[in-house]
Amino acid sequence: MYKVNEVFQTIQGEGSFTGMPAIFVRLQGCPVGCAWCDTKHTWAINMEQQVDLAQVSAKQADSEFWANVTPKALLALFAERGYQARHVVITGGEPCMYDLVPLCQALSEQGYSSQIETSGTFEIKAPADCWVTVSPKLNMAGGYKILASALQRADEIKHPVAMQKHVDELVTLLTEHQILNKLVYLQPISQQKRATELAIASCIQHNWRLSVQVHKYLGIE
């Protein structure tokens, strides 16, 4: 069973799969505590907020309501809604609080590819063919450390930046863990000119890539 906060179909706006149609499955629960998080409604797991899947699927706005869902029920929801995307992004919250192997295997058996978006602070339990995006959340309020195993497992590392110290922190992290030959994306935390210019300059300096949250520029979810 997975605690699901939200399910929707859209265009992936970040990282290597930018522009790809995708079904997002947002899981409830995250203790990391990023100050600038835009999904704080997924942090707490309150039993009083548990509802059924029909109520979650009918949500029109962000809320703390969540439903316990099996992979089979989730796939049935995809069919019921007539989703055409074949790529599923499992996000949160912090999805790696859960064992994602059963979910990803069920998706694969039905012809879906899967992608996990994680902070890198929990052990990643997922099949080898699942694409893993680690967005390392350093020095956050929850006090969680980035796991070496998560960095090694990552297919891409996507790091949010607003100021030079964020770039420096990433350089230190990659150096300490001897992370070489990984896809590295810098992503401005906001759409502000200063953060974007910093990200562009740093990508050129380090031969990284830029991720600009295309969905926010388009005004879609």
The answer, as to whether pTM is greater than 0.85, is yes
Task: Extract the tokens encoding 101.
Answer: 């192997």
In a domain, 85, yes or no: yes
Q: Look at residue 54 and tell me if it is in a domain.
A: yes
Binding residue per annotation — 135? yes
* 165 appears as a binding residue in the annotation: no
66 is in an annotated binding site: no
At residue 213, φ and ψ (nearest 5 deg) are 50, 65
91 is in an annotated binding site: yes
Tens-place pLDDT, residues 22-34: 999 999 999 999 8
Other C-beta atoms within 10 Å of 171: how many?
Answer: 13
Residue 184 in tokens: 């590295």
Would the annotation count 172 as a binding residue?
Answer: no
- Confirm or deny that 205 is annotated as ligand binding: no
In sequence order, what are the residues at sequence separation of 6 or more whose Cβ sits closer than 8 angstroms to the Cβ of residue 215?
10, 11, 12, 13, 14, 221
User: Environment class of residue 216 by beta-carbon count within 10 Å: exposed (0-12), middle (13-18) or buried (19+)?
Assistant: middle
Q: Is 36 among the annotated ligand-binding positions?
A: yes
Starting at the edge strand found earlier in the chain, the sheet holding 67-69 runs 67-69, 2-11, 21-27, 87-91, 113-118, 131-134, 156-161, 183-188, 209-210
**Per-position DSSP letters for 41-65, written without gaps between them:** GGS---GGGB--HHHHHT--S--S-
Residues 83-112 have a mean pLDDT of: 97
**Burial environment of residue 29 by CB neighbours within 10 A (0 to 12, 13 to 18, 19 or more):** middle
Query: Would 204 be classed as within a structural domain?
Result: no
The answer to whether the annotation marks 196 as part of a ligand binding site is no
Q: Is pLDDT at 1 greater than 80 in this prediction?
A: yes
Q: According to the annotation, is 211 in a ligand binding site?
A: no
Angle between helix 71-81 and 101-109 (nearest 10): 40
29 marked as part of a ligand binding site: no
The reply to whether 38 sits in an annotated binding site is yes
Q: What is the extent of the structural domain holding 113?
A: 2-158
Is 39 within any annotated ligand binding site? yes
In a domain? residue 214: no
Q: Has residue 116 been placed in a domain? A: yes
Q: Is the residue at 59 inside a domain?
A: yes
pLDDT of residue 215: 78
| Predicted pLDDT at 77 | 97
Residues 119/142, Cβ–Cβ less than 8 Å: no
Find the CATH number of the domain harbouring 114.
3.20.20.70
User: Per residue in 135-191, pLDDT tens?
Assistant: 998 888 888 999 999 999 999 999 999 999 999 999 999 999 999 889 999 999 877
Split into its structural domains, the chain has a count of: 1
Domain-located, residue 170: no
- pLDDT, residue 189, reads 87
Say if residues 85 and 9 touch (Cβ distance below 8 Å). yes
203 is in an annotated binding site: no
The answer to whether residue 189 sits within a structural domain is: no
Q: Is residue 42 marked as binding?
A: no
